[in-house]
């Protein structure tokens, strides 16, 4: 028996400049979009936190002292899964595996904790980071929300 592939039932795409003010916008946009799945408060909180960390990474690390573009894509699947991709076209990450280690930071002078990826990973079901130096980084977050029957 073959497993049925989940089908996209809705999708949004938005891009915005890497201004710190837009971190809040990204959280609100994704939480508003996810609300159609009637998630529980803790699920929305988890999603907002993970998105906030990913967007903040782009603002702080990808573009350093310049303003660049951040692209956000969110999809809802018919199996109650949400997919979120945050993409920048910044400096990229030379060693993704190293960057994902807790407490690793490229900005120690700014007293960054280096916990962004660990936080994303703890709040979402799956975290994938794709990066190429000089080209940018994509952070892909997925989470299956509890169905109304599971509540």
State the catalytic residues. Answer: 53, 57, 112
Q: Token pair 């030379």 is at which residue?
A: 94
DSSP string, the chain: -PPPPP-EEEEEEEEEE--THHHHHHHHHHHHHHGGG---HHHHHHHHHHHHHHHHHIIIIISTTS--EEEEEEEEETTSEEEEEEEE-SS--S-HHHHTSTT--S-GGGT--S-HHHHHHHHSSEEEEEEETTTEEEEEEEEEPPPGGG-
């Amino acid at each position: 028996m073959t497993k049925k592939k989940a089908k996209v039932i809705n999708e949004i795409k938005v891009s915005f400049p890497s201004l710190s003010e837009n971190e809040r916008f990204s959280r609100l946009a994704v939480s508003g979009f996810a609300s159609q799945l009637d998630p529980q408060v803790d699920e929305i909180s988890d999603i907002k936190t993970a998105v906030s960390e990913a967007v903040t990474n782009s603002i702080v690390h990808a573009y350093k002292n310049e303003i660049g573009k951040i692209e956000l894509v969110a999809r809802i699947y018919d199996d109650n899964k949400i997919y979120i991709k945050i993409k920048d076209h910044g400096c990229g990450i030379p060693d993704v595996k190293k960057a994902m280690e807790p407490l690793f930071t490229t900005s120690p002078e700014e007293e960054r904790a280096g916990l962004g990826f660990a936080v994303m990973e703890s709040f979402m079901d799956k975290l994938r980071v794709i990066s190429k130096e000089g080209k940018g980084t994509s952070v892909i977050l997925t989470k299956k929300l509890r169905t109304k029957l599971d509540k």
